[in-house]
Amino acid sequence: MTWPVGDPQALVLAVGLDLLLGDPPNRYHLVAWMGGLIERLRRVGPQAGRWRPLLAGAGICVCGGLLSLAIAAVVGWLRSWSGMLGVLIEAVVLKMTFSVRGLAEAGAAVEACLRAGQLAEARRLLSWHLVSRDTSTLTEPLVAAAAIESVAENTNDSVVAPWLFYLLAGLPAALAYRYANTADAMLGYRDAQREWLGKVPARLDDGLNWLPARLTAVLVLLTGWVVGGRSVGAVRVWWRDAGQTASPNAGHPMAAAAGVLAVALPKPGHYWLGAGQRLPEAADLRRAIMLLDATAALALVGAVLGLVWLR
């Protein structure tokens, strides 16, 4: 049996499903199932000491890789005898690894609340859909900044990176990336319970996102004209500020977005991307969503052309 390879038809169909239908409820969502598995493994894994949790974290990552291969193998088998039905099945599974519509809707919901002057609700939606930090004391500009940061970072995590791995190594790679990214989101914290358990997932996610994050930044810069971005100034901000974040990757799409939108994106006590530029407002969040759409469109064209060439 051969593993399924990336198929431009499946990718285009998956994007169409995403734009038309959005994300399914969690009880039907593959990523939610991944998260459930990771949480169960976390609960039974060792938490005391260093080496045992470290090895347990590595084991969680190995489980994700094997699961990804198994799912892809089943899809490949279905494709071998079911023709276009198999393409549809692959598209449905692939769609679970990314979300353009869901990310845009999450950002738009925060924007709508800011425009209506509903700061408390904007804070709630921001923490519910987009960020894990405490949002209870954020001012309107900081809410807008945090939302723009999350939309920019997730343009990589939830769009460009899954498509790039699908281009490079088909469905197994896209699924494995999504599992690794989910494991990092759940375990990659420096608290007493996850300090060592999450080290391997965090470093794996850093390695997997090294190329996609920088590619996303370039795509953001290339599509900046859609929102009236400044090319030279945006490149300067990206080059200057991308290394400010604790993550070696998150700062790249975020700093590129700050440069294109000509706004400052501060996280007090941590970083200040686009220093010297004005703080953002609700209208800038709308521009960030437009930038997401344009970046996704350019990434899709590149991925489809790449898949056609590789096949």
- Summarised one tens digit per residue, pLDDT across range 197-208 is 999 999 999 999
DSSP designation for 263: B
Residue whose pair of structure tokens reads 């056609």 in the numeric block: 308
Q: Phi then psi for 271, rounded to 5 degrees? A: -160, 170
> Residues 153-203: pLDDT tens digits?
999 999 999 999 999 999 999 999 999 999 999 998 877 778 899 999 999
DSSP designation for 246: S
Return the ∠ at Cα 163 (arms to 161 and 168), rounded to 5°. 95
Whose CA is closest to 242, among 158, 171, 140, 156?
A: 156
**CA distances (Å), origin 253, targets 62, 160, 221:** 28, 11, 9
For residues 215 and 236, the answer to whether their CB atoms sit within 8 Å is no
Question: What's the pLDDT at 219?
Answer: 98
For residues 175 and 163, the answer to whether their CB atoms sit within 8 Å is no
Distance between CA 131 and CA 137 in Å, rounded?
14
For residues 109 and 129, the answer to whether their CB atoms sit within 8 Å is yes
For residue 181 the two structure tokens come to: 């990214």
Q: 5 pLDDT exceeds 80? A: no
For residue 264 the two structure tokens come to: 């400052």
For residues 1 and 73, the answer to whether their CB atoms sit within 8 Å is yes
Report pTM. 0.94
> Residues 87-104: pLDDT tens digits?
999 999 999 999 999 999
Q: pLDDT-derived band of residue 291, with 50, 70 and 90 as boundaries?
A: very high
Question: What's the pLDDT at 143?
Answer: 97
For residue 174 the two structure tokens come to: 């896209």
Q: Phi then psi for 267, rounded to 5 degrees? A: -120, 95
Give domain limits for the chain: 8-310
Q: Phi then psi for 195, rounded to 5 degrees? A: -55, -50
Which ranges of 156-281 would DSSP assign to H, the alpha helix?
161-187, 199-222, 231-241, 251-261
